Amino acid sequence: MALPQEADGPWGPERPSSPRSAVPDFVYGPRDLIVEGVRWQGSGTGEPEPPPLSRFDEALGSAWRRRMEDGLFRYRLGELPTRVLPGPLGLVAQLNVERGAQRRRPQDVRSVRQAFDPGQFNFNQIRPGEVLFRLSREPGREPRGRARVLVVVNVSPLERGHVLFVPEPTLGLPQLLLEDPLLLAAEAVLLSAHPGFRVGFNSLGGFASVNHLHLHGYYLARPLPVETAPSEPLDPQGRMHLLRGGPAPGFLFFAEGPELGRAVRRVCRMAAHLADSEIAHNLFVTRGAPPGNPPPPGTPTGVRFVLWARRAGFGVKEGAAFNVALCELAGHLPVKTAWDFQSLTEASAVSLIRSCLLPPDQFARLQLALVSLLD
């Protein structure tokens, strides 16, 4: 995505470098949620025509660019070499050498449910300038209290516009998925006019690098397999589907309009079961087609939540072309070296991704357990 050019945005030419109390609020209501008409243009073989920017896109983009110019990132992100791997899946590989070398190494954890440790790096320690704004709903729309999150730059970005959604940091929440932060992050997908703004979550053991609750949001100007991959219902009411046809099988939940909150509750119930069972997991949230036999690519009509259960892995897998987390499971592969970028094939990428999944017998038992939890 081409981020917006320098602009004052809704708060004037403010450049946050002051205490967190001075951070502006981005307050939104139902009129800001774009539920229809956001779709990919063209065939998807090249970067699509940039769509009109929403108020959210303008606010995030202009603030993010200023932080890049102010030198708050670990590296200056330019245009990343990108190619779609030949094959039916349409996996998107990107060369991002700096992130591979300079991103924060995962903290020393040994449990998916490890308690928050204030002695390790956490988001109470970030520089004030890294906070772009607070994201919150209009008064009266909060599900429980005044739910809001900080939108913070990821200092080792995957792509331009890469941010973190961080619930109030002083609460010291561990990296366990909660309903209110996920709902705000999922609504951010609908606040964007760009079909390539996605949100996701990595659990501990699922390549989360910080044990302090946060979700990722970023732009990628390419369609991904999980937007239209076919699925089959796992219960008669179609509340949960098994995603097929993507890089890895996952549990698919779909929502349109007012159903978003219900889907979020189901996703969080499943994620809590996974965490209680010490099963690492990743979540990807994107605009996409309804479950089942989807319509042709380019016609997203709702929000897809894809939850993957996987083998727990702690630390970096040295020597791999990429580390398997939320974006890789969705079909976006940030590759660490030029050699791997040029030599990577769809078959080798899928093999690496599936090596991180649960054994088939364990996955089958888990599937039955999750279906029993549906409301």
**Catalytic residue IDs:** 214
DSSP per-residue letters across 263-318: HHHHHHHHHHHHHHTT-EEEEEEEEEPPSSSPPPTT---EEEEEEEEE--B-S--T
Beta carbons of 243 and 227 less than 8 angstroms apart: no
Nearest-angstrom CA–CA distance, 255 and 264: 9
Q: Which residues pair with 110 in a beta bridge?
A: none
Closest CA to 218 of 242, 205, 202, 230: 202
DSSP classification of residue 330? H
Residue 84: in which H helix or E strand, if any? strand 82-84
Amino acid at 101: A
Closest CA to 310 of 261, 342, 274: 274
Nearby residues of 247 by Cβ (< 8 Å), 6 or more positions away: 89, 91, 225, 328, 329, 330, 331, 349, 350, 353, 354
Residues present in the chain in total: 375
Beta carbons of 213 and 173 less than 8 angstroms apart: yes
33: burial class by Cβ within 10 Å (0-12, 13-18, 19+)? Answer: middle
